[in-house]
């Protein structure tokens, strides 16, 4: 599919597919990945194509455990942070969210409180004084059901389902969530999010993968380049809750409309960066020219050392750019390296934080009879 936003055409020169266009259809395999502390078996699925790209995800948390991508010389490396065992995911990932499916509500809700149809709902507080990523023991700590696996002309994929009961973590309505991961022969990882409810509720789903295009465990991403197709962002208070305003990125360290080294402005005294101890901002994506229901260009990341490129497309209105500010060396990743700040970055395509309390933001309400459907695509190439 052709999804390049017209503003990015000039940046495409020098970026090439990872291999010949004569690749065979993508395939899928599965293997056990242990059992949870409660004894629930967990399975890992690996989607692979003939161009050397593969993506693995597991039924625990719908977590993307690894993505292997060749560099400009054909050498493959895992480009997402993660753990070697299910035990470590259970022990640490509730706070870190490596590769996780996030729900019911990605990002923050102020004071864990919102109102629908005159009724106020109180959520548990897990990021005082707010609720973060759906509260404690969110979707990323649940064992999802495999609805189907498939191999067809579009690629190979797996569809996962979780049914969140009414009042789970304080959210109203029984919510049925389906997330489908698809790997195509065009080196695209497509994520389809769908949800239905039996009561009015709020929904905001995303994937929280941390990328390092030089390879997992290779160190800081500060020399890697980032571009975000956003002319504005939602300023936040010191507690990371939006003020409700939208501000221009012009003249600020948040202006990433051209490829910029991630570390170039990371230590700026700009208040927004000080609040978060790095980048952890919601960008309002430029959506001009987007066709209804089709993902549009949101961001590009590029690692000059390996040549790997990641382009992000999405139907979502916002993108949270996060430089792993919470990593402090206390956890060890899959390769045995201690993870520290800037050892990865996240590009969380989602709705805006605290939207249920901000009428001017795009709505996150979902009502019976309606379907939530959002798409995010990660497209890999080399330069």
Q: Which residues are catalytic?
A: 208, 348
Annotated binding residue 140:
no
Please provide residue 281's backbone torsions phi and psi, each rounded to the nearest 5 degrees.
-120, 150
Give the 3-state secondary structure of residue 111. helix
Between the CA of residue 364 and those of 77, 88, 106, 161, 310, what are the distances in Å?
Answer: 37, 32, 11, 20, 27
Give the 3-state secondary structure of residue 182. strand
- The answer to whether the CB of 61 falls within 8 A of the CB of 93 is yes
Please provide residue 51's backbone torsions phi and psi, each rounded to the nearest 5 degrees.
-95, 5
Two structure tokens written together for 110: 């102020």
Give the other-Cβ count within 10 Å of 369's Cβ.
Answer: 8
DSSP labels for 131-181?
EETTSSS-GGGSBPEEEEEEEETTEEEEEEEEEEPTTGGG--S-EEEEEEE
DSSP one-letter code for 242: B
Rounded to whole angstroms, how far apart are CA atoms 243 and 245? 6
Rounded to whole angstroms, how far apart are CA atoms 310 and 315? 17
Please provide residue 11's backbone torsions phi and psi, each rounded to the nearest 5 degrees.
-90, -5
| Cis-peptide into 278, omega within 30 deg | no
Q: Rounded to the nearest 10 degrees, how much is the dihedral formed by the CA atoms of 287, 290, 295, 301?
A: -50
Annotated binding residue 208:
yes
Annotated binding residue 280:
yes
What residues pair up with 350 in beta bridges, in sequence order?
A: 318
Tell me which residue of 179, 173, 167, 108 sits closest to 140, measured CA to CA: 179
Edge-to-edge strands, sheet with 232-233: 210-211, 345-350, 318-322, 280-284, 232-233, 247-248
Please provide residue 82's backbone torsions phi and psi, each rounded to the nearest 5 degrees.
180, -175
Annotated binding residue 107:
yes
Residue 382 CB burial class (10 angstroms; 0-12, 13-18, ≥19): buried
Annotated binding residue 22:
no
Annotation: binding site for beta-D-galactose: 107-108, 208-210, 280
């Amino acid at each position: 599919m052709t999804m390049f936003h017209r503003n990015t055409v000039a940046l495409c020169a020098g970026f090439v597919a990872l291999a010949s266009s004569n690749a065979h259809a993508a395939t899928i395999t599965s293997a056990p990945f242990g059992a949870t502390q409660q004894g629930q078996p967990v399975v890992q699925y690996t989607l692979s194509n003939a161009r050397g790209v593969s993506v693995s995800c597991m039924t625990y948390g719908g977590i993307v455990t690894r993505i292997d991508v060749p560099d400009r010389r054909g050498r493959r490396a895992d480009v997402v942070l993660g753990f070697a065992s299910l035990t470590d995911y259970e022990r640490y990932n509730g706070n870190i969210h490596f590769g996780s499916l996030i729900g019911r509500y990605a990002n923050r809700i102020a004071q864990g409180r919102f109102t629908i149809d005159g009724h106020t709902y109180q959520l548990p507080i897990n990021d005082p004084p707010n609720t973060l990523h759906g509260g404690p023991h969110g979707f990323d700590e649940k064992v999802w059901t495999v609805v189907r696996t498939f191999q067809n002309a579009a690629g190979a994929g797996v569809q996962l389902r979780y049914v969140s009961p009414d009042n789970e973590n304080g959210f109203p309505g029984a919510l049925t969530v389906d997330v489908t991961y698809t790997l195509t022969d065009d080196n695209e990882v497509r994520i389809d999010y769908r949800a239905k409810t039996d009561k009015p509720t709020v929904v905001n789903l995303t994937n929280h993968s941390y990328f390092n295009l030089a390879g997992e465990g290779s160190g800081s991403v500060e020399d890697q380049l980032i571009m975000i197709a956003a002319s504005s962002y939602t300023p936040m208070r010191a507690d990371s809750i939006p003020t409700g305003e939208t501000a221009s990125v012009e003249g600020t360290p948040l202006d990433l409309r051209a490829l910029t080294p991630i570390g170039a402005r990371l230590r700026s005294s700009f208040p927004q960066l000080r609040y978060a101890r790095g980048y952890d901002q919601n960008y309002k994506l430029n959506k001009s020219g987007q066709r209804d229901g089709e993902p549009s260009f949101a961001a590009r990341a590029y690692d000059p050392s390996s040549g790997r490129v990641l382009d992000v497309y999405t139907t979502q209105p916002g993108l949270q750019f996060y430089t792993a500010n919470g990593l402090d060396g206390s956890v060890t990743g899959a390769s045995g390296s201690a993870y520290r700040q800037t050892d990865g970055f996240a590009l969380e395509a989602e709705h805006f934080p605290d939207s249920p309390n901000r009428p001017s933001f795009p709505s996150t309400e979902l009502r019976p009879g309606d379907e939530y459907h959002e798409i995010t695509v990660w497209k890999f190439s080399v330069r």
